[in-house]
């Protein structure tokens, strides 16, 4: 699937966390070692994070990534397979990639799930709204960390 088509599908399907305020965060380091050390909310729930990541209406991770979620058919292959990601990246590194992946890779087409800065082609309903609220980010991060 082309990145343009992917962006169109993402725009049509993803539901922003309407009315959710952004939580301030501090990025430490640069490049592949960049990270957000401090959690954005209370400790995440891996089961809720799994549901968000596998959802085709909320996180949409399955659209681009292959996930260790056997019941979801037609998983993506445009982005890295997430099996074992908890062994490859720290919790803080995963948090940054969910919040704002372009801080690690400026060419990434992965959406910034908890940022509204430096975005382009954002639909009216999504202006100023994060895709995931702070607790949802922590839930997804908890699930990703559990993938060992």
Per-residue tens of pLDDT for the chain, all 148 residues:
555 445 444 444 455 554 578 999 999 999 999 999 999 999 999 999 999 999 988 888 999 999 998 888 888 899 999 999 999 999 999 999 999 999 999 999 898 999 888 777 777 877 888 999 999 999 999 999 999 9
Provide the whole-model pTM: 0.84
Give the C-alpha distances (Å, rounded to integers) separating 73 from 55, 63, 68, 70, 78. 12, 10, 11, 7, 15
Q: Which pLDDT score is estimated for 148?
A: 94
The DSSP secondary structure of 5-33, one letter per residue, reads HHHHHHHHH----TTPPPPP---BS-GGG
Rounded to 5 degrees, what are φ and ψ at 145? -60, -35
Q: Which pLDDT score is estimated for 2?
A: 56
The span from the CA of 48 to the CA of 142, in Å, is: 9
Q: Which domains does the chain have, with CATH numbers?
A: 3-146 (1.10.760.10)
Q: Which pLDDT score is estimated for 8?
A: 44
Q: Which H or E element spans position 101?
A: none
Q: Which pLDDT score is estimated for 13?
A: 46
The span from the CA of 86 to the CA of 93, in Å, is: 10
Contact by Cβ (8 Å): 79, 64: yes
Q: Which pLDDT score is estimated for 39?
A: 98
Q: Which pLDDT score is estimated for 116?
A: 85
Q: Which pLDDT score is estimated for 4?
A: 47
Q: Which pLDDT score is estimated for 134?
A: 97
């Amino acid at each position: 699937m082309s990145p343009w088509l992917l962006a169109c599908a993402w725009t049509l399907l993803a539901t922003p966390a309407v009315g959710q305020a952004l939580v301030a965060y501090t990025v430490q380091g640069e490049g592949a070692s960049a990270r957000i050390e401090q959690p954005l909310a209370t400790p995440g729930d891996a089961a809720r994070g799994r549901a968000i990541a596998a959802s085709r209406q909320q996180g949409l991770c399955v659209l681009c990534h292959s996930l260790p979620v056997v019941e979801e058919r037609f998983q993506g292959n445009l982005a890295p397979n997430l099996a074992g990601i908890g062994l490859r990246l720290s919790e803080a590194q995963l948090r940054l990639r969910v919040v704002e992946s372009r801080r690690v890779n400026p060419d990434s087409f992965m959406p910034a799930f908890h940022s509204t800065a430096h975005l382009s082609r954002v639909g009216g309903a999504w202006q100023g709204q994060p895709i995931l609220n702070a607790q949802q980010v922590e839930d997804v991060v908890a699930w990703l960390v559990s993938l060992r």
